[in-house]
Chains A and B, each alone.
Chain A
Amino acid sequence: MIETPAASARPPLVRPRRAVLGGVCAGLSEHLGWPVARVRLIMVIATILGGAGLLFYGWLWALVPLDEADEPARRRAPVAAVLLALGAVAAVAAVVQANITGTAPTAITLALVLTGGAVAWSLAFDDSDPLRSARYSLVVRVVGAAMLLATGLLLLASGNWRPEAMTAVFAIGMIVLGMGVAVAPFVVRLWNELMRERSGRIREEQRAEIAAHLHDSVLQTLALIQNRAGTSSDVARIARAQERELREWLFAGEGAPGADLARELREVAATIEVEYPARIDVVTVGESVPAPPPLVAAAREAMLNAARHGGGEVSVYVEAAASVIDVFIRDRGPGIDLDDLPDDRFGVRESIIGRMHRAGGSANVHRGAGGVGTEVHLHLDL
């Protein structure tokens, strides 16, 4: 198959989202390369000569897609207001004619269709159109409803409250439609809300069910794997990482958002755990305080050292008050002696002690209780 250059050069037939009415003429002129005025003129002439233009317009409107821009369609022509005005003229004509001749089927039908069309247009298109205010839509609906009710009553009153049978039927139909128009938006809104709430509830229930199931089965198994595999094994590490991920998903949205110190340190611990054979338990006590970056960085370095050189179980204890934060990081590894430390061990000296001093706090690196492992104590006055 050979694609002709002419076909590919012609832009696709789509309706633009910024349009006068339906965007049909604008789209057509874009597609054909004709000026938009010529297209409109042809449409109008074809409409006057037997209404083919109107049919063609409706057909294209229904079948040609909107362009792919991500914005609500804007229609410059105030169609609902125009229809409403025409409907009012037809209604007046209908009432006058009914009072003179007794019946006025054409005028009554026109009034019904035009006013109904105005309200339908307002409900279908104007609600999502940024060019139309909510007040405009409200006015269209209220006026439409009032017009239908008033016309219906006036028609009933024609012939000295003895209208023709046909007129009476139309009149009652108008009154019913008028009431419907007055009530419809509320019913539609109520229905939409009900549906939204219901689907939300179903989703929530499903999620709770899945969460309960996962909690009962998968989390138990992951805990068992950790229990059986031993702290430093790869299997336990993977199981622990998986457990944390699952837990985060299960209880998503329950924790307080924001850069809380406890939260940040937990995240740091989680990323370190993935890379080193260590299990880092973070215990936090006290108030929720914002995380000072130097403290988090120093704690991260200390945890990294503990995981890298100590391994196994690492305990992190955070005690935060409004004016002071203490963080203890403790491992049970071989332990380090600050005095024996070669100068090139930049980690401890620079990234922990130096960093804390520059931030106006202090860091203390010493052997853990009973000479086992290392404990780092970070202290920061706020």
Chain B
Amino acid sequence: MTSVVIVDDHSIFRSGLKASLDDTVEVLAEAADVDAAVTAVTNERPEVVLLDVHLPGGAGGGGAEVIRRCNGLLDATRFLALSVSDSAEDVVGVIRAGARGYITKGSSAEDVNNAIRSVASGDAVFSPRLAGFVLDAFGAAAGEQAVAEDELDRLSAREREVMRLIARGYAYKEVAAELYISIKTVETHVSAVLRKLQLSSRHELTAWALERKLL
């Protein structure tokens, strides 16, 4: 059983999303704006928060602001960002604030349920689009490659392989089979990429998003 809090300012979408969640997911609370979301998450301590990127209220920071204000809870509570748009600014914003994954609102019910389970078990959720964005933002498509193990601004060769396969629509277990590595290793690579995405100061991460507006 995974406990979740749904944060979205559209009641239609909240109820629709709730109806599409399967039996293994329990909805503890719902919230419609930034302040209500922070209160709900602090009180209920869910395992996963389904968080809309665009939210009214608070200081106007939307979903990213909710994550920042719940900063102390990030060990126990994971945030999965939902967005109707693929705008890179939005996605990069919530990911860098600390979200563990991102999916579009048009994803199928099955995808949403799988994403909730992955995030709850500590994995990062990468959509093909997010993987494509990462490849571009870290210059991997142009052949840039990390030299040192702990480098934050470039991807290692393996991470790049994994990202490319995810961008091609491969599931984690298919990536594992393709590269002859275990699923656990794939998950480690993806988490490492997520960490780089959150901590890196590559200017492309911000400039890219602003420049192209679309992911």
A residues near B, CB below 8 A?
215-217, 219-224, 226-228, 230-231, 240, 243, 251, 254-255, 281, 283-287, 313-315, 317, 319-321, 328, 330, 368-370, 372, 375
Distance between Cα atoms of A39 and B136 in the complex (Å): 77
Distance between Cα atoms of A369 and B171 in the complex (Å): 9
Q: Does B213 contact A (CB under 8 A)?
A: yes
Selected from A221, A240, A285, A330, the residue in CB contact (under 8 A) with B169 is A330
Are B109 and A317 neighbours in the complex by a CB distance under 8 Å? no
Q: Which residues of B contact A281 (CB under 8 A)?
A: 128-129, 169
Q: Does B200 contact A (CB under 8 A)?
A: no
Are A228 and B109 neighbours in the complex by a CB distance under 8 Å? yes
Are A283 and B131 neighbours in the complex by a CB distance under 8 Å? yes
Distance between Cα atoms of A246 and B57 in the complex (Å): 26
Are A369 and B177 neighbours in the complex by a CB distance under 8 Å? yes
Chain B contact surface mostly? helix
Distance between Cα atoms of A285 and B84 in the complex (Å): 21
Q: Which residues of B contact A216 (CB under 8 A)?
A: 10, 54
Tell me the smallest distance from the CB of A132 to a CB of chain B, in Å: 46
Are B164 and A370 neighbours in the complex by a CB distance under 8 Å? no
Please, which residue of chain A has its CB at the minimum distance from the CB of B132?
Answer: A283
Distance between Cα atoms of A148 and B142 in the complex (Å): 71
Are B177 and A283 neighbours in the complex by a CB distance under 8 Å? no
Chain A contact surface mostly? mixed
Q: Which residues of B contact A231 (CB under 8 A)?
A: 108
Q: Does B2 contact A (CB under 8 A)?
A: no
Q: Which residues of B contact A321 (CB under 8 A)?
A: 141-143
Are A319 and B169 neighbours in the complex by a CB distance under 8 Å? no
Q: Does B104 contact A (CB under 8 A)?
A: yes
Of B12, B84, B107, B178, chain A has the most CB atoms within 10 Å of the CB of B84
Cβ contacts A to B, 26 pairs, < 8 Å? A215-B84, A216-B10, A216-B54, A219-B85, A220-B10, A221-B13, A223-B106, A224-B13, A224-B105, A226-B107, A228-B19, A228-B20, A243-B106, A254-B214, A281-B129, A283-B168, A285-B132, A285-B135, A286-B135, A286-B136, A286-B142, A287-B142, A317-B128, A319-B164, A328-B168, A330-B169
Tell me the smallest distance from the CB of A270 to a CB of chain B, in Å: 14
The 4 closest A-B pairs by CB, nearest first: A315-B169, A223-B105, A369-B174, A283-B132
Please, which residue of chain B has its CB at the minimum distance from the CB of A222?
Answer: B106
B residues near A, CB below 8 A?
10, 12-13, 16-17, 19-20, 54, 84-85, 104-109, 112, 128-129, 131-132, 135-136, 141-143, 164-165, 167-170, 173-175, 177-178, 213-214
Known contacts A220-B12, A227-B107, A286-B135; 9 further A-B pairs (Cβ under 8 A): A220-B13, A223-B84, A227-B16, A287-B142, A315-B168, A317-B132, A317-B167, A369-B174, A372-B174
Q: Which residues of A contact B135 (CB under 8 A)?
A: 285-286, 319
Distance between Cα atoms of A338 and B135 in the complex (Å): 32
Distance between Cα atoms of A286 and B208 in the complex (Å): 12
Of A220, A226, A286, chain B has the most CB atoms within 10 Å of the CB of A220
Are B128 and A227 neighbours in the complex by a CB distance under 8 Å? no
Please, which residue of chain A has its CB at the minimum distance from the CB of B10?
Answer: A220
Are B214 and A255 neighbours in the complex by a CB distance under 8 Å? yes
Are A286 and B141 neighbours in the complex by a CB distance under 8 Å? yes
